Chain A
Amino acid sequence: MAHAHTETHDPTLYYVPHGTRWPIVGSVALFSLVGGAALWLNGWAGGTVASLVGFVLLLVMLWGWFGDVIRESIRGFYNRQVDVSFRMGMIWFIFSEVMFFGAFFGALFYARALQVPWLGGEGHGALTNEFLWPGFSAVWPTNGPANIGGAFETIPAWGLPLVNTLLLLSSGVTITIAHHALRAGQRGSLLFWLAATILLGLVFLCIQLYEYHHAYTDLGLTLGSGIYGSTFFMLTGFHGLHVLLGMIMLTVIWFRCAKGHFTKENHFGFEAVAWYWHFVDVVWLGLFLFVYVM
């Protein structure tokens, strides 16, 4: 908190902060963000203002909270045991993110392996097809027997999605080079390769945006294009948001590297973001395989 920098701490003990105002700010922020969104969804335009205020407040909270943690870290309040707590926190957070994507991958697999074939009359879906959706044949991609969202084309895997795959894989390499540079104490090299990682992420996002634009304007493929559009945009969209979040985190880390916050031995902030970036990378490989290629 505001007074943290006036305190000292015995580094043989586990550091337990005394009071914090940021969580309640975070709660108000999230409440305003989602409460405003709920009002907006129910047709009350003022909700967007509340959401925006909540979002800004959330940024303030993150800035302040992480600021406190960084100051305490620089002052040496965190011993090895605290470091391990942070590592565990990040690992289990990433695991929770994996499970979140798991829900949407599960939906995709269920749709492709079971529900669409059943609608087409396979297995115990024979009567469903016969009486409810006669003439519907199960082929993927589909927007369902009622042709929800109209005719559409899909994005071929071996064009831009392949380029995006190579971009993200390269960014996994560049961040590893940056990590080695950090451990070797070469700040110039570290900053260069970290910047390269951010740039690769940025190009990836630009290509995704171009692809979305292309899908909406030229291919007729939208979020409303039945089950294909739903799974395609929700999976790639949530992934894109995570890439964006990862890039913001990498950018913060770039400035922290430039300010010399990290030492050869002690740079968990960098490692946490690197883990996150690799996680985003792995999710993309799943997307490339199951959404684009197959």
Chain B
Amino acid sequence: MATHSATHDDHDHKPQGFLDRWLFTTNHKDIGTLYLVWSLIMFLVGGAMAMVIRAELFQPGLQLVHPEFFNQMTTMHALVMIFGAVMPAFVGLANWMIPLQIGAPDMALPRMNNWSFWLLPFAFFLLLVTLVLPGGAPQAGWTLYPPLSLQGGYSIAFTIFAIHLMGISSIMGAINIIATILNMRAPGMDLLKMPLFTWTWLITAFLLIAVMPVLAGAVTMLLTDKFFGTSFFNAAGGGDPVLFQHVFWFFGHPEVYIMILPAFGIISEIIPTFSRKPLFGYQAMVYATASIAFLSFIVWAHHMFTVGMPVGAQLYFMYATMLIAVPTGVKVFNWVATMWRGSLTFETPMLFALGFVIMFTIGGFSGLMLAIVPADYQYHDTYFVVAHFHYVLVTGAIFGIMAGVYYWLPKWTGFMYDEKLGKIHFWWSTISVNVLFFPQHFLGLAGMPRRIPDYNVAFAEFNMISSIGGFAFGLAQVFFVYVLWKASRAGVKATDQVWEGAKGLEWTVPSPAPHHTFQRPPVIDDSKLAHGDVTH
């Protein structure tokens, strides 16, 4: 806390004292660090829950946990990973990198930025405390479908309020990001010269503000149905449980793009750097991102094909969903075209980016299969769906985050991570994640339902393989923590430029980036920007 009367704009020291530095901070870099550390902790918590799931599914029959606890694990694993790990990680990266990428002194609304983060630990306390309350945590799956979600114990009120707090946090974070990008760009940083990570976050933030309030509305209706006698989801009162699914997935589908668009941005930064070529089709990438965001609002009911909708609605949602493949295809081809005849090197961020392109595309293809209505009647609620969204979210979103962390870590800590360990982490993760999730495609096609603790012995082999992959992947992430810990303390000193082929404002500031940067807007030299020449 500044107690001096001098002008405070020209000094660069960090606040003294732990509370001043972390609890009361208004600094985008410190808040970014808080988000990222929080995300890592939640990643391990959610991962531990996944280990329980895979351990129970190692063999058919009930071995380790009660079915009720198993259901709590599937529910909480999803909620923790989505709202605790993936979303905060992207917001943390946004906090750290967007002001650096656009030449801003900080986020537009620094006090609110602090609040966005510091709501999260309280929200997750409310959510996680249900594990030790009578009746345990919610068991109905993260989608909280009524009537099942309303038939549990103490947990639903806590869960709903936790979601409200997470929503408030996300909305404030998104408002801050939009205001920062639209209002804080240094002179000369035109919208169509912005780095793609900033672009994808601008669009993601719009999605967040549009759909988090809808989720708040949906869970509020659950709350009043449970405790205040309303009949939103009760057919006897003229309501309909399917109404919840519509409102939920109106949030839920944009939500899955909220978890992937910033990863698209990260990959679009990394591939040009390590190909030593400008991004192929920069403007097409921007328009493709915007198209995907628009389409995300009009495809939600493809999550509900088996619920009993009119045929016309099913056909509409099927075709609209398939349209998404067009802008997504534009992105994948542009990444490949960027690498075409480039001078490629394969440092860890590039490895994760390549892993992303290949494995996210696998997840995209299985998504297209699921979009086909008659096929989805077979696939719905099977392990095929589990395999699909884990390819999209683990080898998509999480690999994107890891690529970004390795890419920007030297800028944060001032040290290069250990490249050998990074590569080990990549190959260990990539091999194990495919052992983990690829067999789940076969399980799903063979008819194994999701969210069950026990299964037909016919599924035994693939489940065992999947569990072995799961344990290996989990261990790889403990190794990841070690790599990060090591890189935060010591290593080869990073240059300002860090990567030979990197372009953009963030590479013009020292490594580690000082506590305050760009207090006066930088003079922009288009040739130093990745997209200074908008013709490409």
Q: Which residues of A contact B (CB under 8 A)?
A: 1-3, 6-10, 13-14, 16-24, 26-28, 30-31, 34-35, 37-38, 41-42, 65, 81, 84-86, 88-89, 92-93, 95-97, 99-104, 106-107, 110-111, 114-116, 118-119, 123-124, 132-133, 142-146, 148-149, 222-224, 226-231, 233-234
Contact = CB atoms under 8 A, between A and B. Distances in A.
B109 A85 contact: yes
Instruction: For chain B, give the interface size range.
Output: 35 or more
6 contacts: A38-B158, A92-B178, A106-B247, A111-B243, A119-B235, A230-B230
B228 interface: yes
Nearest to A88: B179
B238 A103 contact: no
B161 A224 contact: no
Nearest to A118: B240
B519 to A, nearest CB: 6
Interface in B203-235: 209-214, 216-218, 220-221, 223-225, 227-232, 234-235
Given A9-B9, A34-B126, A24 B23 contact: yes
A93 B182 CA distance: 15
Contact of B235 (A3, A124, A145): A145
Nearest to B178: A92
Residue of A124, A133, A142, A227 contacting most chain B CB atoms (<10 Å): A227
B106 A223 contact: no
A124 B209 contact: no
A107 B175 contact: no
B122 A100 contact: no
B25 interface: yes
A114 B243 CA distance: 10
Contact of B210 (A9, A14, A95, A104): A95
Contacts of A144: 231, 234-239
A23 B110 CA distance: 11
B114 interface: yes
Closest 3 CB pairs of A and B: A103-B217, A144-B238, A23-B115
A17 B2 CA distance: 9
Given A17-B111, A148-B231, 16 more contacts: A21-B24, A38-B126, A84-B183, A88-B183, A89-B108, A96-B175, A96-B209, A103-B221, A107-B243, A111-B239, A142-B238, A144-B237, A224-B228, A227-B237, A230-B230, A234-B220
Nearest to B225: A230
B242 to A, nearest CB: 7
A248 B165 CA distance: 23
A23 B238 contact: no
A115 B111 contact: no
Contacts, number: 254
B111 A24 contact: no
Contact of A23 (B20, B114, B228): B114
A227 B239 contact: yes
Nearest to A224: B229
B125 A143 contact: no
A23 B118 contact: yes
Nearest to B20: A19
B214 A103 contact: yes
A65 B110 CA distance: 12
B535 interface: no
B175 A92 contact: yes
Contacts of A229: 230-231
Residue of B182, B218, B230, B519 contacting most chain A CB atoms (<10 Å): B230
A64 to B, nearest CB: 11
Contacts of B140: none
Nearest to B227: A41
Contacts of A97: 213
A235 to B, nearest CB: 11
Contacts of B161: 34-35, 37-38
B118 A230 contact: no
